[in-house]
Amino acid sequence: MKPLNTYIDHTLLKPTATKSDIVKLCKEAKEYKFFSVCINSCYVALAKSELENSKIKVCSVIGFPLGAMSTQAKVEEAKSALVNGADEIDMVINIGLLKSKDFDAVWNDIESVKKIMPDNTLKVILETCYLEEDEIIKASELAIQSAADFIKTSTGFGTGGATIHDVKLMKSVAKNNAKIKASGGIKDAKTALEYINIGVERLGTSSGIAILTNDKSSNSNY
């Protein structure tokens, strides 16, 4: 297994996050050598500047947290994030269209974003807490067919985060065609390792430092 810190996208997505909060997040990422920082798109340029001359990636969320905006809006937000220096994009699927069984629209939504970033990593957030098993399977299939690099469980803003059951279901669909990112509620090393041991290749959490230092005082949902 790789070192635990290299699985972690060090995350701050609160609407109240300030510039100084983002600067602090980047400093922490460099200190603990996390894989990336995961932030809202308005802070990509700031994070890129703070992480200059480091190996830490910048991951921007897109269409966050509802996924219910137009495909064009998601594409334009992704373009802006990439121009500002994002290395990776985590986009939220259109959950309502999935539940409407308008699968072509869901496919187009994901594919349209991936088309503008063929050489960058795209993670597709399913928001599994709102989905039935068959919907998790279908959403995973659609993301993989749209050339997503990862399928991701959660935004951290829904009614629940990652579960072992849902990740195993996603893994059964993904096989070796896409990687899995688990996020939402991962607050300690024991939980993190449980996910890694079933094949998760990235963890989204705002408790990365607590996970590495065994500090149990984190009260974040993400």
Catalytic residues: 90, 152, 181
Contact present, 125 and 67 (Cβ < 8 Å): yes
User: At which residue do the structure tokens 């990235």 appear?
Assistant: 202
Q: 154: Cβ–Cβ under 8 A, 6 or more apart, which residues?
A: 125, 126, 127, 128, 129, 160, 161, 162, 183, 184, 185, 204
**Hey, what are 87's tokens?**
């290395």
Which of 150, 72, 152 lies closest to 105, judged by CA?
A: 72
CA 174 to CA 189: how far, in whole Å? 25
Strand partners for 61: 40, 90
